[in-house]
A and B are shown apart, each in its own frame.
Chain A
Amino acid sequence: MKEFKDKRVIQALLAEIEKKTRTLSSPIRIMEVCGTHTMTVHRYGLKNMIEETGVEMVSGPGCPVCITPNELHEAAIELVTQRENFILTTFGDMTRVPTEKGSLQTTVPAQNSLVDVVYSPEESLEKARLNPEKDVVFFGVGFETTIPAIIMTVKEAAEEGLANYSVLSALWLIPPPLKAIVDAKEIAIDGFLYPGHVSAIIGEKPYRFIAEEYGIPGAITGFEPSDMLLGILSTLEQIEEGKPKVTNAYSRVVRASGNPKALALMDEMLETKDAHWRGLGLIPQSGLRLKKNYASYDAEIKFSLKIKGGSGDLPGCRCGEVLRGLISPPQCPLFIGKCNPESPYGPCMVSFEGACLIFYKYHRAQKG
């Protein structure tokens, strides 16, 4: 499958894209929704090449670590600093997000408590099995791609009667913020590249309203360089024909109806709620929580957490605007100076899917 990275294939696809943009009257702006797409665009040096064909790429809200608001990070910090005999597990990036209360990495846990980095939710569950005398809370963050894996551990815990396990959920749905971005009208978007692995779970249908109600084309897109260019090409074809829809340019992985088992599991265990996103504010029906019969595994309920307000974003960080596609990281005055990978000032510089970190890695030269 080397064709997916092959230089000649990439050149040919770029030429095809340029042929299309030449026939279109105005410049085209496409949002790559997913942080992993942003990574591909930059890692393979595609950013400039794509831009030379007349397509501007802007990055979107698809970085779960970035969009999780500080109030949730602060709730996690509070848990592990105030409760003894406590293990807070989470993915590595989550421990470095700075808040007014510091980060999970810098705070000092209460007696016999600790923060533990895991690579998968199953590892968290295993820690609960191995440490029956401690409360284990998984600070579970993710989009539809990760959500089934997270809630599967809750299901297993329930089946095993494991009472010392719970999840602090930061579970987000991808279609609602896209609607929010379009509705806000802060930026005109001509097309979307929909995230391939979110789509592997949810399929094509949840994006259809974007084509049908807003007339904006889009393509479900994979993560190799050729995949991304195919997604762009498919989006341009729709613009050219004046027929916006949702195409699937990642058909080797994504089925039209998604992953039925994962969807059934989500349906059984979760319900939607209005949720706060960093940079995007309150978005109706954009978050998920465990249903009543699993409430004892919901850390928010179990530990009576008050997750409202919090101290908000650190002043000066423009991560919110980056997530809405309004600015590119070098436009933030703190980029590279006060904010860099060694001491990140905002979450977009923490996560490997954060646009600021990606720009730092591949384009440091751009800013002086």
Chain B
Amino acid sequence: MCLGIPAKVIQIDESKLGKVDYLGTKVKTNLSLLEDIKVGDWVIVHAGFAISVLDEEEAQETLSLLREIAASHQEDEK
């Protein structure tokens, strides 16, 4: 039920209804729960509503942490 799907915002109209692209499919999404939303943002969509904007910087930080852990593990294995 709390499944949320990451999708990219491709259209926003005045009443904050919009469309997101999810794996190539355009899906109607209500964007009214978000502040400062722009076309091109990645959002988490749940039950027809976008509930959060993905923070690119934070995502990169987690990714580099993961890469670091993987790299140091490879070192250990050697």
Contacts and interface: CB of A to CB of B under 8 A. Distances in A.
Contacts of A64: 1-2
Contact of B51 (A11, A230, A262): A262
A122 B48 contact: yes
Nearest to A199: B52
B62 A123 contact: no
Which among B2, B55, B76 has the greatest number of chain A C-beta atoms within 10 A?
A: B2
Contacts of B30: 122, 149, 152
Nearest to A2: B63
A150 B46 CA distance: 11
A63 interface: yes
A272 interface: no
A112 to B, nearest CB: 27
B69 A9 contact: yes
Interface string A105-128: 000000000000001111100000
Interface string B28-40: 0010111100000
Interface residues of A, number: 55
Chain A binding surface, main DSSP class? helix
Interface in B54-78: 54-56, 58-59, 61-63, 65-67, 69-70, 72-74, 76
Given A93-B1, A223-B3, 4 more contacts: A15-B76, A123-B48, A200-B52, A253-B4
Interface of B: 1-4, 30, 32-35, 44, 46-49, 51-52, 54-56, 58-59, 61-63, 65-67, 69-70, 72-74, 76
Interface of A: 1, 3-4, 6, 8-9, 11-13, 15-16, 34-36, 62-65, 91, 93, 119-123, 141-143, 145-146, 148-150, 152, 195-198, 200-201, 223, 226, 230, 251-255, 259-262, 265, 351, 353
